[in-house]
A and B are shown apart, each in its own frame.
Chain A
Amino acid sequence: MSIDSGLEKTRGGFLARLFGRTQEPEVTEEWLERLEEALLRADLSVSLVDPVMLQVRDVVREGRAKTVPTVLDAVTDALVQVLVTEERRQGGTPRVILVVGVNGSGKTTTAAKLAKRLKDEGARPLLAAADTFRAAAIEQLERWAQRVDVPIVSGRPDGDPAAVVFDAITAAKARGHDVVIADTAGRLHTKGHLMDELGKIVRVAGRAREGAPDEVLLVLDGTQGQNAIVQAREFTKAANVTGLVVTKLDGTAKGGAVFAIANDLRLPVLWLGVGERPNDLVPMDPRAFVTAMFERGREGRPAGRPVRTSDERP
């Protein structure tokens, strides 16, 4: 990750600097410490933060950047660059989306919200309740399916999840659904047999429709820390993850662990979960995501940026 490209761009804004930024605060050692704190407190990996801070300190020492907004813009740009990655999804009909992740990350809710969003966009989604392990997980998705008015194919408790996915894809073909969203059981990436089971679900999906699944969405709990990186690596190994969903960003957590994931695995963050209502799943906007990291934290916020008030939750 390099902050130089960001600096290049900012330097070009001659007029802006002449008129708008004459009163800009200078970077101080204290501000640099607060910047580092903001990054670390957002759960950015220390392996990313340390080199960034080294670069920032170099740039400031060499006089290439002097003011808070210049440095902050450069850091923001560098972070945004990390998040900009290519989409990996394949195409096929019905499109098959597998929702995977560790326990409690928000898979079921995400599956339902995604179904709602696709339906609103004019698609004809079908939900598949393939979490046959956790008590009442099927009922939970069924309630959601009712709420967002999307049909559902459910498994039996303790049934074979791969069979549920197979049935759902077959049903989608027969009934003319163009997308299947399958919710799977939460599993810790450390449980070999459960990861094997996930591999089986993927293989069986491919048997129901050549090339399926088209998307494997890994749902990451935004309040989690560095373990998210290990999760992404292990789930990618077992199920070839194509994109990330970061949930629970309506609290004070910032989900900064995804930077290391995007950096190491080149996985795109596609969706953000920002609440409990059906519409609270929004597409990823890298710049807004990075900016929010600096803005939302009350204590970790570096000086020189206004506190957002209008749309901030209490």
Chain B
Amino acid sequence: MADMKMLDASDRGLSSGYMMWYRFSRNPAAVIGSLILISIVILAVFAPWLTPYPKHVGAVVDFRARHLPPDASHWFGTDKAGRDIFSRTVFGLRVSLLLVIGVLGISVPVGTVLGLIAGYFGGWVEKLITSLTNVMLAMPPLVMALAVSNLLEPTLTNAMIAITLLWWTWHARLIYSVSKSIASEDYIEAARLAGAGPIHILFREILPNCLAVISVKTTLDAAFVILFGATLSFLGFGVKPPTPDLGSMVADGRQFMPDFWWEVLCPGAVVFYVTLGFNLLGDGLRDMFDVEN
């Protein structure tokens, strides 16, 4: 304890930005993870210019070139319609990233706000929100998602809605526990005594102290959302063909296993690569912020 205090005192001269960067740059997981993610974002954004056959995204059929194994002109081989799998996986990344942005863009703010409110106010508000999250968490996610996309039309938007409906609960629960412990800190009481209203306390006093937890959780979640999205489209509840999607590409290639293994393995490996990137970055961020759980 005593020497911890001393370390604090000695770090006084360093800015928190420098300390963050120092920990980040010395954390191989975080660095590799962010390099992977940067490569993915560049590929997805500039897909039309970076892929050899951007036209193969659409309804192109070239039977002379079907089921070609990987070579110099088709890095990942071709599929049953003779389309370049590499080009299609790169475009498939766009769908995955859209899904992540759509799902987390809604469920993270919603979950965070509900969690903050439940943790700070307590009483019946807390009971209501925690009961609601508990009920939602009790539903098997895949069954729920299948039901929603079955009820509506199987499109990307509907898959997003289905996943979002489930996802906010995890964030609400996490932020609830953090917010509840912060709410009992002296500085929150001091802010109340200084005349702060609930909006100020929730978003200016408690939220900044949750940002580390939120960013770690969101990054790790991105990996799960991609996997979940891929699962849904593998089962046929995702993007409509011919739009390329990593999950449905694996599903399409499945019937040709094991002869034309590249049709499953290559898009599968890309799912792995993206998931790994998010997970590494998430773990790295966790070490960096010293966040537990």
Same assembly: no
Q: Which residues of A contact B (CB under 8 A)?
A: none
Q: Which residues of B contact A (CB under 8 A)?
A: none
